[in-house]
Amino acid sequence: MKIIDELKCSGGLPVPELQRRLGGSYMGIKDQCEGLVKQGYVETWRVPRSGVGRPEIMYRLTPKADQLFPAAGTALTLELLEASRKLFGGTAPERLLHQYFQQLGDSWRPRMAKAKSLVEKATLLSALREKEGCFGRCKYDPDAGFRIEEFHHPLNPVFDVYPNAVHFEIRMLEELLGTKVVRKEIPGGRGGPARVDYEVQTLGVRGD
């Protein structure tokens, strides 16, 4: 699973880089990758080297690996939201989603209160989201500041149909962190797979 996690975040890596990140022996990592290839979770492709030499063999996840990252019963969730619209009116689905994020925030608030700094709060929040099926990592660099990078969210299909739910989630995050959160969708490409960044305002005081 550590190999799968690294491939999910990177979009694809060669064995030497996986070894550098995870430790262990070259052959051990290679055998694990080949085992995942046989199971259908990973595939290989070759990237030409900039200099002389054979193309480098890269490993990346296949669509089959998606099942390893939880989904929130997407089909059932969307059917229930549509049923609520038919039964209770056009605004019913969004009211339910708004209530869901309110209740989720209320359940996390007591644990968040134990964190002493904004970075500690954001790190704890990322861990809580992972238990709900999200897959991401906290990252800091001097230019972009502190952010949570997420490569999987089980509610993405729900967000596609009910985009206002994205705002409900951001509002919940801001209330828990006590600061502004900026959500940015990063398209996939040569730099890595598609992800969503939640940039956390470093002052820790929510602005107007």
pLDDT the model gives residue 202: 67
Residue at token pair 């107007």: 208
Straight-line distance from the first to the last Cα atom of the chain, in angstroms, rounded to the nearest whole number: 42
pLDDT, position 72: 65
Cα atoms found within 13 Å of the Cα of residue 124, Cβ hemisphere only: 16
Q: Which of 107, 69, 93 is nearest to 195 (CA)?
A: 69
Count other C-beta atoms under 10 Å from residue 95's C-beta: 12
All domains in the chain, ordered by first residue? 2-68 (1.10.10.10), 74-200 (3.30.1380)
Q: How far is CA 2 from CA 45, 52, 56, 171, 174, in A?
A: 20, 32, 21, 32, 30
List per-block mean pLDDT (blocks of 10 residues) for the chain, which spans 208 residues: 92 93 94 95 87 84 86 85 96 97 97 90 93 89 83 92 97 94 88 88 48
Asked if residues 19 and 32 have their Cβ atoms less than 8 Å apart, the reply is no
Neighbouring-strand partners of residue 199? 147, 182
Q: Please give the model's pTM, rounded to 2 decimal places.
A: 0.75
